[in-house]
Amino acid sequence: MIIALAGGVGGARLANGLARILPPGELSVVVNTGDDFEHLGLHVSPDPDTVMYTLAGLNDAERGWGLAGETFACMEAVGRLGGESWFALGDRDLATHIERTRRLRSAETLSAITADFAQKLGITQAIVPMSDDKVQTRLQTPEGLLAFQDYFVRRRCEPAVTGMLFEGAEAAVPSPGFAALMRAPELRGIIICPSNPFLSIEPILAVPGVRGWLQNRAVACIAVSPLIGGKAVKGPAAKMMAELGLEATPQAIAKQYDGLIDGLVIDSADAAQAYGPCQITDTLMRGVPGQERLAREVLVYLGQLSPRQ
């Protein structure tokens, strides 16, 4: 069994490639919940939903978020009523947030709800929120401390980031599913997906017990760099690295995961900056075939590093 640690779009894409290659039940995707927030009184879980929609084949591949063929009638009506419409929630997507919010208020856990939704959508892989406790990513910027979605959506990643806070992380525990995975005897390897290391993976590592588990892992762990030619495919990873005083190179990614990985998968465009144990390939995933191709290469590389060297 393989664990993939994932955030949003890039992570979901590699997770989908892995899901399509590995036999049913042999992949568990542990997902960042640091981006979760309340909007319009609804609990929105952007990363778990992106992974869920992608694995269900329902995601909008072009837009990169939400559901394919989505409509936005409700949000338009919210705007007419004077409500907040800066964060677009599609009509079908809203169903996820409405049902999740209702069930959370009935004292069900985020991970139980996520598992049930995934099953209803025909997904045979486990989608496991990192924690059922509230962890909120906040960005230190010259404008002050910004909530993740304020930074990411409302301010379009424009403010310079000088640091991150994962509010609530110190008091959080891994979700029961994640805790069970950490101790699963059938675990064969761990893959850190090409998600933003600072915004998507770091919150997972901030949950007490997770970093130590990876440091003391008995199986191989590899990360896939989110950089291609020193840039992120999507999102602010490269911009943030510059703001944090880091070069957008494989070395900086490897240092970010120092002690946690046995090897790094990097793009050919970054081959000149290769650092430490590396697998060089084309990391851009073009469509589902591209996801499957990269997943296959990642699994081969993981196999080469197992048992852990």
State yes or no: residue 71 binds its own copies (CB under 8 A).
yes
145 touching its own copies, by CB under 8 A: no
Burial of 215 (0-12, 13-18, 19+ CB in 10 A): exposed
Residue 292 in contact with its own copies, rule: CB under 8 A: no
Residues in contact with its own copies, shown as a per-residue x/- string from 240 to 279 under the rule CB under 8 A: ----------------------------------------
**Residue of the chain from 96, 200, 256, 279 that contacts its own copies (CB under 8 A):** 96
In sequence order, what are the beta bridge partners of 265?
Answer: 224, 279
Residues 6+ apart with CB under 8 A from 110: 33, 36, 43, 45, 48, 100, 104, 129, 132, 175
SS3 283: coil
Residue 82 makes contact with its own copies by CB under 8 A: yes
> What helix, strand, coil percent values describe the chain, rounded to 5?
40, 20, 40
The rounded distance, in Å, linking the Cα atoms of 234 and 227 is: 10
Which regions of 32-120 does DSSP assign to beta strands (E)? 37-39, 42-44
Region from 16-24, 73-81, 202-210, 218-226 binding its own copies, contact rule CB under 8 A? 73-81
Decide whether 71 or 124 has the Cβ nearer to its own copies. 71
Chosen residue from 25, 61, 63, 77 binding its own copies by CB under 8 A: 77
Q: Least CB distance from residue 87 to its own copies, whole Å?
A: 13
- Residues in contact with its own copies by CB under 8 A are 40-42, 71, 73-78, 80-83, 90-96, 98-99, 101-102, 105, 116-117, 120-121
